[in-house]
Amino acid sequence: MQQPPDRHQITTYLQGLQEQICTALEQADGSGTFREDHWQRPGGGGGRSRVLADGTIIEKGGVGFSAVEGEASEATLRQLNLTDRAAGPPPTFYATGVSIVIHPRNPRVPIIHMNVRYFELSNGTYWFGGGIDLTPHYVVPDDARWFHQQLKTVCDQHDPSYYPRFKTWADDYFFIPHRQETRGVGGIFFDYLKESDTVSKADLFAFHRAVGESFAPIYTHFMQQNHNLPYSPREQHWQGLRRGRYVEFNLAWDRGTKFGLETNGRTESILMSMPPQANWIYDYHPEAASPESDTLAWLRKGVNWADV
């Protein structure tokens, strides 16, 4: 029987994943290089943040690794739905992961996000989580179909139930309630994955790795395919507005952002997902039957991209 991975093995793997992804992005961009910052968390642990700015294709991109630990505050336990526990001092936690957000220069290249993470408590509770989702400034159905097919292939290699479950979870998670629109065309999202009678910790770690390793081939495909497509000030204007929606989701609804801030994580690293510029226009409505209004029509839950 395969030995279950421990947190040291998982952490070492994630450090290497950050390296692999940064190398692939630099090669695909052609001119940009990542700046690296090492940081320590006062309560325990730290991380390695890497940011690429003003590249040929990537206007701003962050690839962060962290491994933090400490006492789990009541606020953290509430966020993790762990308030129903035995009396006594709160448990300590250990959390490690890689988180990525890329904002491209050309509005025809989509924004992308990925996060793969592992969390454990001193009481023996652990889980894997993560996901990958695509936020085009302009929705192109062929691109969305291709993206979802890549994710479905990854999921199906581990469990055929994963893609439909995690695709629906992504639709629900990457949703902006105050706008009544999805952040983009979705992807997959999963959390609290634990071993059971049918799946081992080693199996879950294999799936976790497969999701992480899918990122570079998927996004470099879009970089290479779309970065030379023409665009005008009109498309840049729309890009700024869509970036504004991205900011709204991350600051108001994203659990990872809230967890980082509530556990005294490094603010610069937590907020490196923010775009270099974003715009808000009061009560803005695009012209009817325009590419912009067509994009808004796609930003809804439940689109079965496999059949569109």
3-state secondary structure at position 12: helix
Q: Is 37 exposed, middle or buried (0-12, 13-18, 19+ CB in 10 A)?
A: middle
Q: Which residues are catalytic?
A: 113
- Provide the pLDDT for residue 35: 96
Other CB atoms within 10 A of residue 260 CB: 22
Q: What is the 3-state secondary structure (H, E, C) of 208-277?
A: HHHHHHHHHHHHHHHHHHHCCCCCCHHHHHHHHHHHHHHHHHHHHCCHHHHHHHHCCCCHHHHHHHCCCC
> What per-residue string of b and e applies to 138-148 under the rule 16 or more CB within 10 Å gives b?
bbbeebbebbb
Going by C-alpha positions, the residue among 53, 67, 64 that lies closest to residue 18 is: 64
> Each residue's pLDDT tens digit in the chain (308 positions)?
568 999 999 999 999 999 999 999 999 999 999 999 999 988 899 999 999 999 999 999 999 999 999 887 666 666 566 655 555 677 889 999 999 999 999 999 999 999 999 999 988 899 999 999 999 999 999 999 999 999 999 999 999 999 999 999 999 999 999 999 999 999 999 999 999 989 999 999 999 999 999 999 999 999 999 999 999 999 999 999 999 999 999 999 998 888 788 877 788 888 999 999 999 999 999 999 999 999 999 999 999 997 76
* Dihedral Cα 177, 179, 183, 185, nearest 10 deg: 100
- Provide the pLDDT for residue 80: 62
Q: How far is Cα 58 from Cα 121, in angstroms, rounded to an integer?
A: 37
Alpha carbon 50 to its chain centroid, in Å, reads 15
CA distance readout (Å), 170 to 132, 134, 181, 235, 281: 9, 11, 13, 27, 28
Written as one string, the DSSP assignment of 137-176 is: SS--HHHHHHHHHHHHHHHHTT-TTHHHHHHHHHHHHSEE
Contacts of 147 (CB under 8 A, 6+ apart): 134, 185, 187, 218, 305
- Provide the pLDDT for residue 91: 82
- Provide the pLDDT for residue 38: 95
Contacts of 297 (CB under 8 A, 6+ apart): none
- Provide the pLDDT for residue 42: 87
SS percent in the chain: helix, strand, coil, step 5: 40, 25, 35
